[in-house]
Amino acid sequence: MEVERTPVEVLFTCRHCQLEWRQGYEVVRWTGYEGDLLETYFRRGVPVPPPMLGQRCPQCGSLNVSWADVSGLPRRATRPVQPVVSSHWSTPEPKPATLRFFTRAAHQREPLTRRFP
């Protein structure tokens, strides 16, 4: 019985909010006595379910998550995000004039006392 340990990196993509994240696993593969190929996934030394069974998105909680084994692919280069600056954005737009007699007074918007019939 031959045991093989390989690190695997899996890229998960949420189809609901388009969040992408990576998780590293250690896969232990071995051949059983009857010739079956068996594999177990580990994270930090703890056996976990395989990523093919599904993951929950950490941002929105959706179960509609796809995965891909990217252990052989290079990581995407991270580009620093530069803020877009425009001279038109430096001055705020003036607020439109409102007619004060159409707006409600503060006590009419949120009354402090509640009256019940």
Separation between Cα atoms, residue 43 and residue 47, nearest integer Å = 6
Q: pTM to 2 decimals? A: 0.56
Q: How many residues does the chain have?
A: 117
**Domain definitions of the chain by residue range:** 3-69
Which residue type does 113 have?
T
- pLDDT string in tens for the chain (117-residue length): 678 899 999 999 999 998 999 899 999 999 888 888 899 999 999 999 998 888 889 988 888 998 888 876 666 656 666 666 655 556 667 777 766 666 666 666 665 566 666
CB 29 within 8 A of CB 23: no
Query: Is residue 107 within a helix (H) or strand (E), and if so which, with residue range?
Result: helix 106-109
CA 82 to each of CA 60, 85, 88: distance values in angstroms, whole numbers, following the listed order: 26, 9, 18
